[in-house]
A = this chain, B = another copy of it.
Amino acid sequence: MTVPEEMATTRSGPTKARILAAASQLLLEQGTTSLSVRAIAQQAGVSTMGIYSHFDGKQGVFDALYREGFERLARALERALKIPDPREAARLGTQLYLELAQDYESHYRLMFGERAGRFEPSETARADALRAFELLVQLMAKLMPVRNSGATHLCHAVAFWAQLHGYVSLQQQMLPHLPAQQDWDKQVLRTMDDMIERLAQGDVPGAQR
């Protein structure tokens, strides 16, 4: 029905980008709960209806922000994959992941759970998420002995992701309520380092039968 390429030259292109930028900024500053259609429209200098002309309502904007977050994550993992040394690559990937989760906390929460309102990512958005995950699998595969199967890579990528995401999630939501945790970031990096070392040495006892 709509052909974005042709409209991009006229005027809807920039305004669409401006709406997205406004939404992203509001999301960064005030979180998902304060992100209303009217607020986005006002911030972008557009009528409320503009959100429905250029996007598919709030769903569409959330979808774009969701994709934006996963594209950022994919770029970070690609950057890590360029490092030749597998352990260094995995470490950089971990570090960039943590930085992204910290700098774009609201985006991160939109990506992982917290489906604000009734938001569900679209098919294409989920494809972006999947692509980021595949890059993580590559990062893990690089780390492990070559004779391991793809299924093994996938298992350990999920375990690695779960550990990392678990830390981020707990930090974002429970950390202020927990007994004083000094050097949280250091502990996370140390734990992930240990995990990387174990994977590199193939020391995963009952991992694959």
Tell me the A residues contacting B by CB distance below 8 Å.
Answer: 33, 109, 112-115, 117-118, 121, 126, 129-130, 133, 154-155, 158-159, 161-167, 169-170, 172-174, 177-179, 181, 187, 190-191, 193-194, 197, 204-207
Contact = CB atoms under 8 A, between A and B. Distances in A.
A155 B204 contact: no
Number of copies: 2
Contact of A166 (B109, B121, B169): B169
Contacts of A159: 163, 187, 191
B161 A170 contact: yes
A33, A158, A170 pick with most chain B CB within 10 angstroms: A158
26 contacts: A33-B115, A33-B118, A109-B113, A112-B170, A112-B173, A113-B173, A114-B115, A129-B177, A130-B178, A133-B174, A133-B178, A154-B181, A155-B187, A158-B170, A158-B187, A159-B187, A161-B170, A162-B169, A162-B170, A164-B166, A165-B169, A166-B166, A166-B167, A190-B206, A190-B207, A194-B205
